[in-house]
Amino acid sequence: MPGLRTITFEQIASAVEGLCIKANTQIGADVKEALEKAHAAEESPLGKTIIGHIMENNAIAENEMVPICQDTGMTVVFVTIGQEVFVEGGLTDAINEGVRRGYEKGYLRKSVVKDPLIRVNTGDNTPAVIHYDIVPGDKLHIMVAPKGFGSENMSQLKMFKPADGVEAIKKFVIEAVEKAGPNPCPPIVVGVGIGGTMEKASFLAKKALLRHIGHHSDKAHIAALEKELLEKINNLGIGPQGLGGRTTALAVNVETYPTHIAGLPCAVNINCHVARHSETEL
């Protein structure tokens, strides 16, 4: 198409296929570094041993190209598409084809059912949950973030009143982690979304999980909130795999958005220590 950069169905499907396999077999460098630091700092002998086993498991998965965990997740995809890009063949269809191939070729467990009440497996882990963002330019950025449900089931949403303030949010986040306990396979990454509407807060919490561990918000008051929450969560004593210790979370990432004068939505979304995501740009 004149004036537009064309990206083909096959280019997208092939890219997503590879990202599905990579995200499920290789942890990110930031996660690896965070686990190494946690292993060195963990005071509980059992906790230190568990983190050591986690690191060993991750190394085996990467070296042998096998899944890090048996739950290879429901595939969540974040797509940033430039206005000057023309997708030949359909973007959503191409992404789902890539998921289909990736989960088949990577021997990844297929965990998606066709209907939430009639529990029949789709057989190929599709459809993916896809979030689109349209921006200027001629690039297509794809982030694949498979989400296991041991952690996803621990999600919480609360519609606070503005008068409840930040202290109520802190209490809510800490209680969500405490209630989750060992279920999300700690050490965890905690995503928090504040603002917008009900669904926007949930999206922000999910998106917050994608931020590299150790990178704080560029808003000073939010960065301070992240650090305070991380310290308080790690003082809960839940520890690695819920068996006690100082390392309950590797990071707390908070994302915010403007909201209504009458509202203060807050969502919590938790990732297990694998924090699966992989990305590429076409």
Q: Report pLDDT for 217.
A: 96
- pLDDT mean over 48-68: 96
Nearest to 272 by CA among 78, 136, 69: 69
Instruction: Identify whether the C-beta of residue 43 lies closer than 8 Å to the C-beta of residue 245.
Output: yes
Instruction: Identify whether the C-beta of residue 95 lies closer than 8 Å to the C-beta of residue 79.
Output: yes
Nearest to 206 by CA among 99, 74, 55, 115: 74
Q: Judge whether residue 66 has pLDDT over 90.
A: yes
Percent of the chain with pLDDT over 90: 98
**Mean pLDDT, the chain, integer:** 96
**Cα(107)–Cα(102) distance, integer angstroms:** 8
Q: Report pLDDT for 2.
A: 58
pLDDT digits (tens, 9 = 90+) for 166-200: 999 999 999 999 999 999 999 999 999 999 999 99
Q: Report pLDDT for 176.
A: 98
The distance between the two most distant Cα atoms of the chain, rounded to a whole number of Å, is 64
Helix (H) or strand (E) holding 129: strand 129-135
* pLDDT level of residue 110 (50, 70, 90 thresholds): very high
Burial 151-181 (b: 16+ CB within 10 A, else e): bbebbbbbebeeeeeeeebeebbbebbeebe
- Range from 2-6, 73-77, 219-223 carrying the lowest mean pLDDT: 2-6
Residue 81: count of CB within 10 angstroms of its CB = 20
- pLDDT mean over 237-259: 97
Backbone angles phi, psi at 81, to 5 degrees: -120, 130
- pLDDT mean over 139-145: 97
AA letter at 118: I
Q: Report pLDDT for 91.
A: 97
- pLDDT mean over 53-70: 95
pLDDT digits (tens, 9 = 90+) for 194-216: 999 999 999 999 999 999 999 99
Q: Specify burial of residue 63 (Cβ count, 10 A radius: 0-12, 13-18, 19+).
A: exposed
Instruction: Identify whether the C-beta of residue 278 lies closer than 8 Å to the C-beta of residue 22.
Output: yes
**Cα(108)–Cα(121) distance, integer angstroms:** 14
**Cα(48)–Cα(55) distance, integer angstroms:** 11
**Cα(63)–Cα(70) distance, integer angstroms:** 17
Q: Judge whether residue 18 has pLDDT over 80.
A: yes
Q: What is the pTM of this model?
A: 0.94
Q: Judge whether residue 1 has pLDDT over 60.
A: no
Q: Report pLDDT for 3.
A: 75
Q: How far apart are the first and last CA of the chain?
A: 17
Read off the tokens for 187.
């050490």
